[in-house]
Amino acid sequence: MTRVPSRRIDSVIDAVGNTPLVRLRHVAKDAPGVEVYAKLELANPGGSVKDRAALRMMQDALADGRLTRDKTLIDSTSGNTGVAYSMLGAALGVRVKLVMPMNVSKPRKDIARAFGTEIIFSDPMEGSDGAIRDVRAIVAASPDTYFYPDQYANPSNPLAHYDGTGREILDAVGDKITHFVAGLGTTGTMMGTTRRLKEHARPIRCVAVEPSEALHGLEGLKHLESSLVPPIYDPRIPDEILHVTTEDGWTMADRLAREEGLHVGHSSGANVFAAVKIAERAQRESGGGCVVVIVCDRGDRYFAPMKWERRYVW
């Protein structure tokens, strides 16, 4: 067993990033010549990939004066970014207010509130787009009260992944990686990480994951054709977009728990489903390769009953 030295840090914010990669051997068993690695963003202190973007947006705004202790940070979120803002706000002494769709899972609402965050609920039928419209109206009515980072349009979001996620992946598997897979939500992970990977000497095919249907159960992912497209999104960045059904994302999340010991959310299940398909394709075409896929968050944030549950009784 490899021993990783322990480290001392001054604040919880110093625990963000440097997440591990774990080899997925069982769910990718039909592609034995291809290494598939999950980038475990659930290992961030807030439990998701969104810790990275939230921290970078807050630090950049504190540095240039857009965010001060006299202002309240407000943003729209489907949950994980809200948890990240809330945790980091508590650590940095920043007040936080969030606009979330009413149907966001109860654990994420409860976690955000545990840090002292105020939550305003938007129409659940309007999804993340409804929350965006509501937060814009609140800020427009009282612009001096709030700092609105706007995670969908803030360049610090993809920069967090350009400087962090992409660099870490190259440090770990840069000499062998052939494919990178991430889902499209705010799109910051795909935009920033891909830009960094494309600077590497070897070609790396970067694949974006999107829900197959406009009405879906892959919380955190956006069906871009039917949604407000994030301003940070550049359609020229991904080499390919794979569409994944709700059923396939949920089933893969189940398999990861039972076969790999990884209890993850459904968007992570969708990402890994796509990564396995890519690995199987690489196995057929070249007999080898190395795929890195983003595992966004933990599955315990989805325990509360949801509309899309098929057979689950918690």
307 within some domain? no
The pTM of the full predicted model, rounded to 2 decimals, is 0.91
Q: Are residues 117 and 259 in the same domain?
A: no
77 — pLDDT class (breaks 50, 70, 90): confident
Q: Which of 30, 10, 39, 40 is nearest to 177 (CA)?
A: 39
Note whether 269 and 250 are within 8 A (CB). Answer: yes
Query: Per-residue pLDDT averaged across 7-13, rounded?
Result: 93
Residues 175 and 284 in one domain: yes
212 and 265 part of one domain: yes
Q: For residue 194, is it within any domain?
A: yes
* Residue 19 in domain: yes
Domain co-membership, 201 together with 234: yes
Distance CA 299, CA 216 (A): 17
pLDDT of residue 307: 46
Residues 6+ apart with CB under 8 A from 19: 39, 40, 41, 42, 43, 44, 168
Reported as a single tens digit per residue, the pLDDT across 203-227 is 999 999 999 999 998 988 999 999 8
State both tokens at 113. 């509130």
One domain, residues 280 and 172: yes
> Quick check: is 310 in a domain?
no
| CATH code for the domain of 251 | 3.40.50.1100
Q: Per the domain annotation, does 159 fall within a domain?
A: no
Contact in structure between 131 and 35 (CB atoms under 8 Å):
no
Q: 294 and 225 in one domain?
A: yes
Active site residue 222: no
State whether 91 and 22 are in the same domain: no
Give the total number of structural domains in the chain. 2
Of the ranges 1-10, 204-213, 271-280, which one carries the lowest mean pLDDT score?
Answer: 1-10
Q: Please state whether beta strands 34-40 and 21-23 pair in parallel, antiparallel, or not at all (unpaired).
A: antiparallel
Catalytic choice (50, 109, 222, 277): 50
217 with 275, same domain: the answer is yes
Of the chain, the percentage scoring pLDDT greater than 70 comes to 95
pLDDT band at 194 (very low <50, low <70, confident <90, very high): very high
Provide the token pair at 106: 């109860």
Query: What Cα–Cα distance (Å) separates residue 148 from each residue in 37, 170, 190, 300?
Result: 35, 32, 22, 29
- Strand ranges for the chain from DSSP E: 21-23, 34-40, 72-76, 95-101, 118-122, 146-147, 179-183, 205-211, 240-244, 289-295
Q: How many CA atoms lie within 13 A of 82 on its CB side?
A: 32
Contacts with 38 (C-beta within 8 Å, 6 or more apart), sequence order: 21, 22, 24, 260, 262, 272, 293, 294, 295
Domain stops at, among 119, 147, 175? 147
pLDDT, tens digit, 9 for 90 and up, residues 295-308: 999 998 776 554 44
As a whole number, the mean pLDDT across the chain is: 93
Of 146, 142, 140, the C-alpha closest to 118 is: 146
Whether pLDDT at 89 is above 90? yes
Residue showing tokens 């054709």: 225
Q: Are residues 186 and 99 in the same domain?
A: no
In this structure, is residue 231 part of a structural domain?
yes
Q: Which domain holds residue 116?
A: 50-147
pLDDT at 193: 98
Question: Which CA distances in Å does 92 have to 46, 109, 160?
Answer: 14, 20, 18
- In angstroms, rounded to a whole number, what is the distance separating the alpha carbons of residues 187 and 43? 20
Q: Is the pLDDT of residue 280 over 70?
A: yes
On whether residue 197 sits in a domain, the answer given is yes
Q: What is the pLDDT of residue 313?
A: 42
**Do 38 and 178 fall within a single domain?**
yes
- How many other C-beta atoms can be found within 10 angstroms of the C-beta atom of residue 1? 3
